[in-house]
């Protein structure tokens, strides 16, 4: 009986120690990612002072049932057009999910930019930007970008910049935060776990879902049009 109690106490201590270590690791990794990413978050005016930027990389998110951008995505697109007009970069790279019929983030993103006056040839679409990691990987390997300015909401930029840097991109970010978004606290909580996941993903560097032939972002964006 005494032996069983002793074993139980030892097991409990091990479980508690592992739990504490796990929690500490999560917070340490989260702090690391936010610190590294945060050092390269700029204002639009600061981004305009950069030189040699290949493209403004706009990260996709939800579109409505009618195919128009959600509020968060519209804020990202508005900011990206502003940066384009400030001559931060000569091209826009819209990276999002167009992996199934009936759901298309990237064409909605391109149409928004064109409606705002950006020439179609200056807007590239990455139809296989299924995750933040894949968007960064493909920006470098498929679209041949070396220096980018990423546009997303601030809470997301820390991770995006961290991944980009880990993959060898010279990356900066400009936040596209508009009004308060519903249930933002849920996104913030999930983002902590996403930072931990992509911290390790950035070490392993797996290939994305799709690769393919190079499409240099220095060329004509219309080559990425459907059909």
Nearest alpha-carbon partner for 129 in 116, 113, 145 = 145
pLDDT at 2: 66
- CATH architecture under which domain 30-177+184-224 falls: 3-Layer(aba) Sandwich (3.40)
Boundaries of every domain in the chain: 30-177+184-224
| Residue 130 phi, psi dihedral angles, 5° rounding | -75, -15
pLDDT at 149: 98
Cβ atoms of residues 217 and 124 within 8 Å: yes
pLDDT at residue 17 in the model: 75
Residue 117, pLDDT score: 97
| Cα 142 → chain centroid | 16
Residue ranges in the chain modelled with pLDDT below 70 = 1-5, 227
pLDDT tens figures, 101-150 = 778 999 999 999 999 999 999 999 999 999 999 999 999 999 999 999 99
CA torsion sign, 132 to 112 to 216 to 177?
A: negative
């Amino acid at each position: 009986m005494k032996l069983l109690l002793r074993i139980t106490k030892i097991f409990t201590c091990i479980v508690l120690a592992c739990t504490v270590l796990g929690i500490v690791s999560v917070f340490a990794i989260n702090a690391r990612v936010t610190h590294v990413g945060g050092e390269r978050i700029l204002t639009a005016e600061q981004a305009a002072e950069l030189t040699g930027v290949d493209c403004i990389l706009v990260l996709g998110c939800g579109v409505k049932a009618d195919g128009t951008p959600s509020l968060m995505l519209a804020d990202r697109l508005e900011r990206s057009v502003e940066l384009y007009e400030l001559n931060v970069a000569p091209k826009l790279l819209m990276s999002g999910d167009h992996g199934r019929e009936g759901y298309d983030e990237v064409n909605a993103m391109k149409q928004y930019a064109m409606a705002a006056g950006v020439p179609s040839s200056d807007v590239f679409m990455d139809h296989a930007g299924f995750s933040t990691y894949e968007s960064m990987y493909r920006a470098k390997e498929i679209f041949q970008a070396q220096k980018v300015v990423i546009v997303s909401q601030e809470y997301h930029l820390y991770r995006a910049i961290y991944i980009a840097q880990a993959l060898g991109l010279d990356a900066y970010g400009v936040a596209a935060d508009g009004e308060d978004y519903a249930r933002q606290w849920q996104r913030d909580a999930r983002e902590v776990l996403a930072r931990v996941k992509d911290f390790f993903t950035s070490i392993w560097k797996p290939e994305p879902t799709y690769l393919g032939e190079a499409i240099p972002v220095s060329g004509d964006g219309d080559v990425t049009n459907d059909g």
